[in-house]
Structure 1
């Protein structure tokens, strides 16, 4: 189990609480691991209060005082999925990581920093002429599109200006088949009860009489079930009881408790498991959200990034965006995410057991080997945009 496991759960749940507090009926999708990876790439070049705040908000401060040790943990996660399938073997799933460092041609990097990104993050690193802003936008967006199998076609909308020194981008692409696929013959149009009180008829997929990891906690007013993919990755679904609601569940759920709840699941025969077939897209302006969580210094002119470039000009993160998409259907799931940072210079049961997700719920896509949450989110409302 990776030490990043608890960090991904802590940060992801805190992030979800922050978004939910602003709008409890919003659909949310994010990748905790993508945010952690992108910001650990700048953490390698940070010092002082900037370094402390990044570690604290990402819940990395309890791992180790040395940033290089955190880089090694990320390297281990990425490296474990870079081993190609042996001849004649079936690829269990696709989990690809991409990291990009693109710098203005006038920026002179510290060699140790570039080497760390290449060694620990397997990053592509090169210089470009930022005076041709349109070309930079096309290059970055093309790189993101290629690394997410065209699921995310753009991460940048605005061309860099003369103060932009570099871009750091992370992508994660996941494609997995359910260990037990849903039969299309059982997919039916059924009612989903949206958090805003409306109802919608949408396609719902059903499994009958399957043994799955499951727990029903009446005291917590929630149910949890694990849907495994082929391989060692699973989707975890958390459904509030009918007397509860998703916002109340999220507000009162703590990361250690969540970990304990997932550990308490046991193999159980479910008579009926029904979940919606859906597509969800989301984006987050991290440069606005993370400061509200306590990470302010990296986005200010007095940010401390002394180990990235040569010279004495101040550096700070002027823009940081994550875009994510997920498609959940009968055969499996496709999910992808891209996180970009723009740095500026200037500065068996006797009873019938069912799990019917016909109301708002939380979900995670979890790497069972490392315990890291790759993706997480909440489905609060289904509209035509979510239809598959």
Structure 2
């Protein structure tokens, strides 16, 4: 189990709570691991209060052994999926990580910083002439598109200014097939109950007579089911009962509670399992959200980044966003995310059960895509409302 497991869950849940508190009927999708990876690349150049706040908000300060090299932990996760398949082996799923350093060629960077990104993050590193403007935008967007198999084709729109020093970008792409796929013949139009009390007809996928890790926690007024992909990745669905609501479930969750709930799951025969076929896309303005979670210093003009450039420069993060998309369908799931730190900006001035049991997700629920080997939370979200735009 990776030491990044707990931070990826707790940071993701804290982020989800922050977003849903502003609008609890919103559909949300994010990749906690993508944010953590991108900001760990920032963290490697940070010091003082800036370093402390990044660690605290990402929950990296909860890692048991603080002497552990955090970038080394990132490397372990990425490296475990870079091992090439042996001849004749069948690829079980696709999980690709990409990291990019797009540096302003007019600035000199510390060799140790650049080498660390290449070694521990397997980052592509390029020196570019920022005076090219729109060509820089096209190069970054092309890199993101290639690394997400065209699921995310644009992550930045505005060209860099002469004061921009670098861009740091992370991408994650997942493609998995259900261990027990849904039959398209069993996908039917049915009612989904939106969080605002309205209903909508949507495509609902059905599996009958299969066994899953499952629990109905009457004390918590929720059900949990694990839908495995071929390989060691799973989707975890948490469905509140009719007497409960999704916001309360999310508010009560942390990594310890989630682990306890998952440990209570047992292999259970489900008479019927029904979930919607859906596609979600989301975008998060991290430069607005992370400061509200306590990460203010990296975005302020007195931020401390002494380990990036050879000569000390007054650097701070000017803009940062994440885009994420997920498609859940009969054969499996495709999910991708891209997180960009848009330039560190330089200041101009310086047991088996037999009763009939069902899991029918026809109302708001939350979901995780989890690496069962490392325990890392790759993607997470909540589905509150279905609309025609979200049908596949």
TM-score, scaled to structure 1: 0.98
State the SS of the aligned residue for 1:161. coil
User: Which residue of 1 is the match for residue 373 of structure 2?
Assistant: 369
User: Which residue of 2 is the match for residue 345 of structure 1?
Assistant: 346
Q: Distance in 1 between matches of 2:151 and 2:164?
A: 27
Q: Distance in 2 between matches of 1:62 and 1:221?
A: 29
Q: CA deviation at 1:16?
A: 0.4
Q: Distance in 2 between matches of 1:106 and 1:385?
A: 45
| Aligned length in residues | 387
User: Which residue of 1 is the match for residue 236 of structure 2?
Assistant: 236
Does structure 1 conserve the Cα–Cα contact (< 8 Å) formed by 2:303 and 2:314? yes
TM-score, scaled to structure 2: 0.97
User: Which residue of 1 is the match for residue 53 of structure 2?
Assistant: 53
Q: CA deviation at 1:350?
A: 4.5
User: Which residue of 2 is the match for residue 83 of structure 1?
Assistant: 83
Q: CA deviation at 1:253?
A: 2.0
State the SS of the aligned residue for 2:16. helix
State the SS of the aligned residue for 2:82. coil
Q: Distance in 2 between matches of 1:181 and 1:33?
A: 26
CA RMSD of superposed structures (Å): 0.9
Matched, 1:293 2:297: no
User: Which residue of 1 is the match for residue 172 of structure 2?
Assistant: 172
Matched, 1:381 2:382: no
1:302-326 deviation line (CA, Å, top 9, x unaligned): 1111001111221111111000000
Does structure 1 conserve the Cα–Cα contact (< 8 Å) formed by 2:9 and 2:254? no
Q: Distance in 2 between matches of 1:296 and 1:146?
A: 32
Q: CA deviation at 1:65?
A: 3.3
State the SS of the aligned residue for 1:153. coil
Q: Distance in 2 between matches of 1:15 and 1:312?
A: 32
Q: Distance in 1 between matches of 2:57 and 2:313?
A: 26
Note the residue ranges of structure 2 that are not aligned, 5 or more in a row: none
Matched, 1:358 2:362: yes
Q: CA deviation at 1:254?
A: 2.6
1:223-245 deviation line (CA, Å, top 9, x unaligned): 00000000000000000000011
1:82-121 → structure 2 map (5 Å cutoff): 82-121=82-121
User: Which residue of 1 is the match for residue 280 of structure 2?
Assistant: 280
State the SS of the aligned residue for 2:24. coil
Does structure 1 conserve the Cα–Cα contact (< 8 Å) formed by 2:269 and 2:354? no
Q: CA deviation at 1:108?
A: 0.6
Note the residue ranges of structure 1 that are not aligned, 5 or more in a row: none
Q: Distance in 1 between matches of 2:376 and 2:91?
A: 21
Q: Which moved more, 1:262-271 or 1:220-229?
A: 262-271
Q: Distance in 2 between matches of 1:106 and 1:265?
A: 56
1:1-388 → structure 2 map (5 Å cutoff): 1-63=1-63, 64-66=65-67, 69-342=69-342, 343-346=344-347, 348-388=352-392
Q: CA deviation at 1:3?
A: 0.4
State the SS of the aligned residue for 1:61. helix
